[in-house]
Amino acid sequence: MKTIFTLSLVLFTVQLAFTQTFEYQYTGDYGTIYQVAENEYVYGILNSPLQQFSIYSMDHTLIKTIQLTPDSVIGFQFLNLSKTLFNNDSKFELLYNYQTNYPNSRTGVKVVDEDGNVLFYEPGAWGITLKNTDQGAKMILSYEAQEIIKVYSLYGTMFNVDEKSFDHTSRLFPNPSSGKVKIDFNVPANEPNLVLSIYTIDGKLINQLNVSSKLTPLQLDVSTLNPGVYLYRIHNDSFSTTTSKFIVKR
């Protein structure tokens, strides 16, 4: 009797382990679910090569595709999709920051609506924190090349989470170097599939290494690189540290 009960328990456990149901497949390199209103959820899908962000209903019907405008982009970072966080017109609002490629590298933070109209634009900004407070929702911006912080009061309330913060930085030292360097970096704990990407000054990818958010500082040997100026960043499909320069000398 004991053996039969044990076997039944194992079969029941196996049954529970296979209850997932495949629903749909999108084309893109990042996707998540956003709560955009009190009782409304949507899928948000990023297609970086096309510089498009598409919004789908929960039954996978395409609602809107937003074209993103920056040229020669190294990376986008999508922080919030809402309908009434920035104004009260009930159109989708997409908040994101971006960094463009060298030699004309620049960063910026934008909010665009579903028709592509720019609701907010702050060139030079990179780090973003959003938080609901007892005095309403707040947005804090920090800047890659300036020691300033700007605080904005927002129209509505965040639905996705109470707080989001993306101010992922890194520091390589010694810089310049002819041998081994260390890279301190700040990314959320337990982020999967992190890679260190190294580029030439004109943005050509020359090397990638798998890294872990738990292992910082990262040690790297740059002695095999030709003398010159290089770029690096640590990233996965959902975010990137600021792209920074380092110099290899002999």
| pLDDT tens-digit series, residues 101-158 | 655 667 889 999 999 999 999 988 877 888 889 999 999 998 766 678 899 999 998 8
Residue 134 has, within 13 A of its CA and on its CB side, a CA count of 0
Q: What is the pLDDT of residue 162?
A: 47
If DSSP codes are grouped into helix, strand and coil, which group holds residue 5?
helix
Q: What is the pLDDT of residue 203?
A: 77
Q: What is the pLDDT of residue 216?
A: 72
Q: How many helices (H) and strands (E) does the chain have?
A: 1, 19
What torsion, rounded to 10 degrees, do the Cα atoms 45, 50, 52, 57 define? -40
User: Around Cβ 125, how many Cβ atoms within 10 Å?
Assistant: 20
44, 122 Cβ separation under 8 angstroms: no
Q: What is the pLDDT of residue 78?
A: 66
pLDDT tens-place values along the chain, 250 residues long: 555 555 554 544 555 555 778 999 998 877 889 999 888 999 999 887 788 899 999 999 999 999 987 766 666 766 789 999 999 998 999 998 887 765 566 788 999 999 999 999 998 887 788 888 999 999 999 876 667 889 999 999 888 654 555 556 677 888 889 899 988 887 766 678 888 989 888 778 899 999 887 777 888 999 999 999 888 888 877 667 777 788 899 8
CATH number 3.20.20.70 is the correct assignment for the domain at 170-248: no
Find, among 200, 207, 203, 202, the residue nearest to 248 by Cα. 200
CA distance 119 to 87: 9
Q: What is the pLDDT of residue 201?
A: 81
Report helix, strand and coil shares of the chain as percent, to nearest 5.
5, 50, 45
Q: What is the pLDDT of residue 63?
A: 97
Q: Where are the domains positioned within the chain?
A: 30-166, 170-248
Q: What is the pLDDT of residue 101?
A: 65
Find, among 147, 98, 149, 37, the residue nearest to 139 by Cα. 149
